[in-house]
C-alpha cells in the first residue's frame, strides 16, 4: 500500500476555457480571445504566462481570477467556481485569499501608502499588525514613504506600494499583470525576488510578463499564442523563453 500524502488541491484550474467578446457594433465580428485553455496551478507554484501582445494573457489572468466570466468552460479558484458564487462570496474570497498586482495599481488616492498596504487585511476583518505593514513597505524600499498618498509618489513607487499591499495580506494566490512594467531594472529585480519569495513561502504566483528575465524566474512558463497554450517550459533560461515566444507555430509546443 502506498503511504504517499495526497496531492494538495490546486489553487487554480481552468478547463477548456473559452472567452469571446461580443462585437462592438451590430453586424461586427465577435472577438475570440481564448480558444480552449486547460491549466492547473498548485499551491506555492510560480507560473509565468508569456506571449505576443494581444495573445490573451491579461484576459486569461482576469478569467482565472474570477474578474471576467468565461464564455464556455470552467474555472475553479481555490476550489470554487467564481461563476457560481454570489457577488458577496466572490468578493470575500478575493479579499481573504487573492492578491492582485495590476498595471493600473488600484491604490486608493485618499489613503496613505501605509493605509493602502493595510487595506486588504482590514477589509477582510483581520487584525493588521503595524510591524507587517512596515516590513512590507521596507521590502519594496519605501519605508520612508509610508505617509505619502499615491498622488505624491512616482509611478514605480505606486507599483511598489501595490506589491507591498499584496505581500502584507499574505494571500493564497497572487495574480500579477506586468508588475515590473513601470520599474527600473534594479527595482524590478527586487520585486520579482519578492514575488518568488511569496511563492516559496506558500502563495501561488501567476505572473503575466513581457520580460524574459522575469519569466525565467518562474518554476513554469506558459507560452500563449492566439488564445491557446502553445507550449510549457520548466525552469527555462531567458533564451529558452525567447525561443519559445518567437518560434514558428510548427516548432513550438514540445513539453520539456
Ligand X SMILES: Nc1ncnc2c1ncn2[C@@H]1O[C@H](COP(=O)(O)OP(=O)(O)OP(=O)(O)O)[C@@H](O)[C@H]1O
Q: How many residues bind ligand X (CB under 6 A)?
A: 11
Query: Does 56 engage in binding with ligand X (CB under 6 A)?
Result: yes
Q: 67: closest CA among 43, 42, 32, 102?
A: 102
- Among the listed residues 100, 164, 99, 96, the one whose alpha carbon sits nearest the alpha carbon of residue 133: 164
Ordered DSSP codes for 25-94: STT-PPEEEEEEEEEEE-TT-EEEEE-STTSSHHHHHHHHTTSS--SEEEEEETTB-GGGS-HHHHHHHH
Q: Which is nearer to ligand X, 69 or 185 (CB)?
A: 69
According to DSSP, the residues that pair with 173 across neighbouring strands are 98, 204
To Mg ion, the closest distance from the beta carbon of 57 in angstroms equals 5
User: Which one of ligand X, Mg ion, none interacts with residue 179, CB within 5 to 8 A by kind?
Assistant: none
| 230 lines the binding site for ligand X (CB under 6 A) | no
Report the candidate in 240, 201, 232, 197 with the shortest Cα–Cα distance to residue 40: 232
Binding characters for ligand X, 24-43, by CB under 6 A (x = yes): -------x-x----------
Provide the minimum distance between the beta carbon of 12 and Mg ion in the complex, in angstroms, as a whole number: 18
Based on the shown chain and the rule CB under 6 A, indicate whether residue 55 belongs to the binding site for ligand X. Answer: yes
59 binds, among ligand X, Mg ion, none (CB under 5 to 8 A by kind): ligand X
The entry of ligand X, Mg ion, none that residue 33 binds, CB within 5 to 8 Å by partner kind:
ligand X
Q: Give contact residues for ligand X (rule: CB under 6 A).
A: 21, 31, 33, 51, 53-59
Amino acid at each position: 500500500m502506498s503511504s504517499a500524502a495526497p496531492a494538495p488541491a490546486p489553487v487554480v484550474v481552468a478547463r477548456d476555457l473559452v472567452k469571446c467578446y461580443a462585437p462592438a457594433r451590430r453586424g461586427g465580428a465577435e472577438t475570440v480571445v481564448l480558444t480552449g485553455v486547460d491549466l492547473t496551478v498548485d499551491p506555492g507554484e510560480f507560473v509565468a504566462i508569456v506571449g505576443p501582445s494581444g495573445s490573451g494573457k491579461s484576459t486569461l489572468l482576469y478569467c482565472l481570477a474570477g474578474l471576467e466570466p468565461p464564455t464556455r468552460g470552467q474555472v475553479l479558484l481555490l476550489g470554487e467556481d467564481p461563476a457560481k458564487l454570489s457577488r458577496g462570496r466572490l468578493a470575500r474570497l478575493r479579499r481573504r485569499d487573492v492578491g492582485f498586482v495590476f498595471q493600473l495599481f488600484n491604490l486608493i488616492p485618499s489613503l496613505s501608502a501605509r493605509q493602502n498596504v493595510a487595506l486588504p487585511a482590514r477589509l477582510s476583518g483581520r487584525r493588521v499588525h503595524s510591524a507587517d505593514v512596515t516590513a512590507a513597505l521596507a521590502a519594496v524600499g519605501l519605508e520612508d514613504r509610508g505617509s505619502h498618498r499615491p498622488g505624491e509618489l512616482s509611478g514605480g513607487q505606486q507599483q511598489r506600494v501595490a506589491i507591498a499591499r499584496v505581500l502584507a495580506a499574505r494571500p493564497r494566490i497572487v495574480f500579477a499583470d506586468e508588475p515590473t512594467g513601470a520599474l527600473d531594472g534594479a527595482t524590478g529585480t527586487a520585486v520579482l525576488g519578492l514575488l518568488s519569495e511569496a511563492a516559496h513561502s506558500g502563495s501561488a504566483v501567476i505572473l503575466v510578463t513581457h520580460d524574459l528575465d522575469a519569466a525565467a524566474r518562474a518554476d513554469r512558463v506558459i507560452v500563449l499564442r492566439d488564445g491557446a497554450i502553445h507550449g510549457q517550459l520548466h525552469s527555462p533560461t531567458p533564451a529558452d523563453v525567447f525561443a519559445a515566444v518567437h518560434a514558428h507555430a510548427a516548432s513550438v509546443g514540445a513539453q520539456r
